[in-house]
Structure 1
């Protein structure tokens, strides 16, 4: 890790610049994965969301899970996802949302459309049988985060979301 001014013109090793430390921790982890990727993985960012009272999140970039989280407000998760979508350069950006609580799911997609000014793919996925039995009830939202991971791995009805700046 170095500054851009101090870095060598060419290097056999991947170089990370100090400026990335201003980014969100998930984006930093994604940039590190990007630098060490062999190029065999699909260049896509997949975000799985389990909507409900507690909102589970799973973020997979270049075939590796880089974040698992739990949120309580649709606005907080929309802000976080917008930072991730803007910070990582993936050819395909796919957001998969479970259909268990469509009111929360539509609120999240509406907020994302306002906060992220580029296109992404959106899928509503059947949430049936994504919740696993975990000892000690929900153990800090682990069940919701696992459900989000399973949602990210499923296929659903896909549509492209264009930013409001393009559609008016």
Structure 2
């Protein structure tokens, strides 16, 4: 990814005095870390493919990997579907995207479908895929990475990079 290193961060009051095409307001930095990072990445690069890709490893601890413009901008763990949906809503409402894709591991198909249906109900224009998550945890070989939380986030990243099937095909079968 080619980055143009000139970005000006300023206040709303001073914006009109600055002749530059890449300006970020300081109030844009009052948000979630992933949103801030996405906005900076968007302004510093030439956004050819500003796709938001979210990988989800469902379970008691829900691992999440957030990729924007092919870069992982954040990974985290939440403990409820509500917190997951709130995060996805926040991201989609505040990040400039051409397309949003959510990939959910299907190890626990009932839980994966519950998450997919909730996302589909609450949010529009999101491609939702279910992904075979077989081997996502066993591929983590580093002992420190096998800790809870870290393992969930790394599994979510592996899920994000795998090819999935539209979740609706599971409803019809």
Report the TM range for the smaller structure's normalisation.
0.7 to 0.9
Structure 1 residue 68 corresponds to structure 2 residue 75: yes
Q: Paired residues, what number? A: 158
Decide which of 113, 128, 133 is 1:127's aligned counterpart.
133
Q: Unmatched 5+ residue regions in structure 2?
A: 1-8, 169-173
Task: Name the Cα RMSD after superposition.
Answer: 2.1
How far 1:13 sits from its partner (Å)?
A: 6.5
SS at match of 1:27: helix
Using the TM superposition, name which of 132-141 and 105-114 deviates more: 132-141
SS at match of 2:24: coil
In structure 2, the partner of 1:146 is 154
SS at match of 2:13: coil
In structure 1, the partner of 2:15 is 7
How far 1:149 sits from its partner (Å)?
A: 0.3
Structure 1 residue 33 corresponds to structure 2 residue 41: yes
**How far apart in 1 are the matches of 2:142 and 2:89?**
31
Decide which of 37, 46, 56 is 1:49's aligned counterpart.
56
Q: Quick one: structure 1 residues 154 and 13, their matched pair in 2 at CA, closer, same or farther if it must change by over 3 Å?
A: same
C-alpha contact 1:79 1:112 (8 A) present in aligned 2: no
How far 1:15 sits from its partner (Å)?
A: 1.5
Q: Deviations over 1:74-102 (max 9, x none)?
A: 11111111101111121110000010112
SS at match of 1:6: helix
Using the TM superposition, name which of 84-93 and 144-153 deviates more: 84-93
In structure 2, the partner of 1:92 is 99
1:101-120 aligned at under 5 Å gives the runs: 101-116=108-123, 118-120=124-126
How far 1:26 sits from its partner (Å)?
A: 1.2
C-alpha contact 2:57 2:105 (8 A) present in aligned 1: yes
Q: Deviations over 1:149-168 (max 9, x none)?
A: 010001111368xxxxxxxx
